[in-house]
Amino acid sequence: MALHVSLVSADAEVWTGEASLVVAKTVEGEIGLMSGHEPVLAILAEGQVRITQTDGSKVLANAQDGFLSMEGNELTIVAGNAALIS
């Protein structure tokens, strides 16, 4: 089962889709999240969010000033500033 990911900034949706793995930087260090991960709420630190989509392709974004929330197979990342890295 895939992980449903929503990455949003204060003013726009940055990326939404299905992923097999998401790695984000929190104030306590990097965290990797996969489908079935226990519920978690964490404060984002400035850094990259690395999303591995279900087809193996990667999406990279810079994010800061926010939090991430994992519940079931839903991961929501809310950042004050977030943008995809092209």
- Give the pLDDT confidence of 17-64 residue by residue, as tens digits: 999 999 999 999 999 999 999 999 999 999 999 999 999 999 999 999
Give the per-residue pLDDT at 86: 75
Question: What whole-number distance in Å separates Cα of residue 36 and Cα of residue 29?
Answer: 20
Smallest CA-to-CA distance from 64 within 4, 18, 14 is with 14
Outline where DSSP puts E strands in the chain: 3-8, 13-26, 29-33, 40-53, 58-71, 74-84
Question: What whole-number distance in Å separates Cα of residue 86 and Cα of residue 20?
Answer: 21
Question: What whole-number distance in Å separates Cα of residue 19 and Cα of residue 13?
Answer: 16
Quote the distance between the C-alpha of residue 43 and its chain's center: 12
